Structure 1
Amino acid sequence: MADDDIEDIEIQLFLEALHRRYHYDFRNYAQASIKRRLTQARTQLGYASLSAMQEGVLHDESVLPRLLNYLTVQVSEMFRDPSYFRALREKVLPHLATYPSLKVWVAGCSRGEELYSLAILFREEGLYDRTLFYATDINPDALDAAERAVYPLDVIKTYTANHQKSGARTSLSDYYSAAHGGAIIDKSLRERVVFSDHSLVTDSSFGEMQLISCRNVLIYFDRELQDRVVGLFRDSLARKGFLGLGSKESLRFTRHAASFAPFVSAEKIYQRAEE
């Protein structure tokens, strides 16, 4: 048996063990992506093989949080892809403004950059006070970081430029204060946020949303899991609600594509279709 075949078996056994021991399910993540992340985790955590890392995580619960930091993607920035946020501002929020109350779900919120981008956007457009934001992730460390809302000062220049390109009506500096070597997001932007552990792989719908933003998450799932997650989003959206995906993601090949109509095609923003 070739070494690659043996490694594939090790990966399958590892993911099955992780699911049975801790109920974190990575079994339907894209193979190339999960293989790369497991290899990085094994190297950085100091294990000689995946089998050794499997033994470590099964018998030592303290390994799990460190492992999750490698298996979940934590790369983002505020107002990432500013044209997406400009499209929300100019095309989507005028529709949402007709609702007396709003629910927004940031699925896979990571460390909160997208969440606070949306909170700022909604405040600038006068919708923040009638909106409840749900920020979910499977990584408890990421959720804790999102709730603390402290970002390195050296990224603020990039965040500020992104904000301006999104059609900003204010200055980003209005929403944070510098202290202890970091930029702390104003606590008023956290008052209408519910932070919660939620797995797109195993958990069900928990509310009726007017907007779901889940960007650069589906690309890490295989086709079967993508279908499952898009179905979850469909079931979680209110009538004529909106779904925003990442620039490299699409609903075209999912079995739920007919449940959505393109709304701003260039920015991968969809609206739940009449059914």
Structure 2
Amino acid sequence: MKHHIDEKEVNLLLNDVAGKYGYDFTEYAPASISRRVNHLFQADRFPSFAEFRYRIVSDPEYAMRFVEEITVNVTEMFRDPHFYSALRQEVLPVLATYPHIRIWHAGCSTGEEVYSFAILLKEANLLHKSVIYATDINTSVLEKGRKGIFPISQMQQYSRNYMEAGGLQDFSSYYTANYDYVKFREELAEKIVFSPHNLVTDGSFNEFQLIICRNVLIYFNRSLQDKVLHLFYDSLEPLGFLALGSKESLNFTSVAQKFRQLGNREKIWRKNHL
């Protein structure tokens, strides 16, 4: 039984998936892709690379499992609470000056962070005039986000994060608990549009005042990062905000001169006027 898939074989699989299903991972960072592909290969106990490859090419459902394994994102509500308090203090007062607020949360995964931001908007009395477009390449995580149902076991941690992020209410007032799960309030979900979008191949679809894309770019190589950052630049209104993950930066990228970082230590930039 084969135990490891080498780089050449990983590339074959990525080309298969791009050609047959339109998901292009060929510019993702090789180390992270290789780790995830090998994890799936071992977890599903394929006796050989050829059988693994055949299954991916011939079984669209299994191919989606492959896509999910590669795009799986770790997420939690109010992740990095200081990031959320910076949004609350520095970005929301600017958004408040617009008659309609459009936000794009790219690579939203299962939606925990999208609901977190909807709660911030609600507490700033801005939710009623906002729409959050929550997108991901992976349609099954979008389905989870759309339902707004999360394990109750996480709520203690999420509540701590929420308080640290400067939460104004009792966190449990935002959801209804039912046995092992909670469902977030409908008024939050009503303002979120979950839809598939592939950062690698799809273009801009609106002009936004804020784009949030956290811990997605770290999986891309340099040229793909630049491509996606240009997409974000083109999708932001002048003076719009771009918020990235804690390990991500615009420094040394081709758009570095087109943004300035906010004064706090968080990864939030503002697009230049011109």
TM over 0.5: yes
Q: Quick check: 1:267 aligned with 2:266? A: yes
SS in 2 for 1:46: coil
Percent identity reads 44
Q: Distance in 2 between matches of 1:48 and 1:209?
A: 48
Q: Distance in 2 between matches of 1:177 and 1:40?
A: 36
- 2:17 touches 2:63 (CA, 8 Å); kept in 1? no
Q: Distance in 2 between matches of 1:176 and 1:11?
A: 42
Q: Distance in 1 between matches of 2:187 and 2:264?
A: 33
Supply the AA of the counterpart residue of 1:230: L
- 1:78 touches 1:113 (CA, 8 Å); kept in 2? yes
Aligned length: 272
- 1:243 touches 1:272 (CA, 8 Å); kept in 2? yes
Q: Match for residue 119 of structure 2?
A: 120
- 2:226 touches 2:253 (CA, 8 Å); kept in 1? yes
Q: Distance in 2 between matches of 1:177 and 1:74?
A: 25
SS in 2 for 1:66: helix
Q: Match for residue 166 of structure 1?
A: 165
Change over 3 Å in CA distance of 1:151–1:264 after alignment to 2: farther
Q: Distance in 2 between matches of 1:265 and 1:226?
A: 24
Q: Quick check: 1:9 aligned with 2:1? A: no
SS in 2 for 1:84: helix
Q: Distance in 2 between matches of 1:30 and 1:7?
A: 15
Q: Match for residue 201 of structure 1?
A: 200
Q: Match for residue 106 of structure 2?
A: 107
Supply the AA of the counterpart residue of 1:216: N
- Write out the 4+ residue segments of structure 1 that deviate beyond 4 Å after TM superposition: none
Q: Match for residue 43 of structure 2?
A: 44
**Aligned CA-pair RMSD:** 1.4
Query: 1:129-168 alignment to 2 at 5 Å?
Result: 129-168=128-167
Supply the AA of the counterpart residue of 1:237: L
TM-score, with structure 1 as normaliser: 0.96
Q: Out of 48-57 and 84-93, give the one that drifted further.
A: 48-57
- 1:200 touches 1:229 (CA, 8 Å); kept in 2? yes
- 1:208 touches 1:238 (CA, 8 Å); kept in 2? yes
Shift of 1:265: 4.8
CA deviation string 1:215-257 (max 9, x = no partner): 0111110001100110000001011000000110001121111
Q: Distance in 1 between matches of 2:214 and 2:263?
A: 15
Query: 1:28-67 alignment to 2 at 5 Å?
Result: 28-67=27-66
CA deviation string 1:158-197 (max 9, x = no partner): 0000000111111211110111420111111111111110
- 1:42 touches 1:48 (CA, 8 Å); kept in 2? no
Q: Match for residue 246 of structure 1?
A: 245
Q: Distance in 1 between matches of 2:191 and 2:53?
A: 40
Shift of 1:49: 3.9
SS in 2 for 1:267: coil
Structure 2: runs of 5 or more not aligned: none
Change over 3 Å in CA distance of 1:261–1:49 after alignment to 2: farther
Supply the AA of the counterpart residue of 2:40: A
Shift of 1:54: 1.8
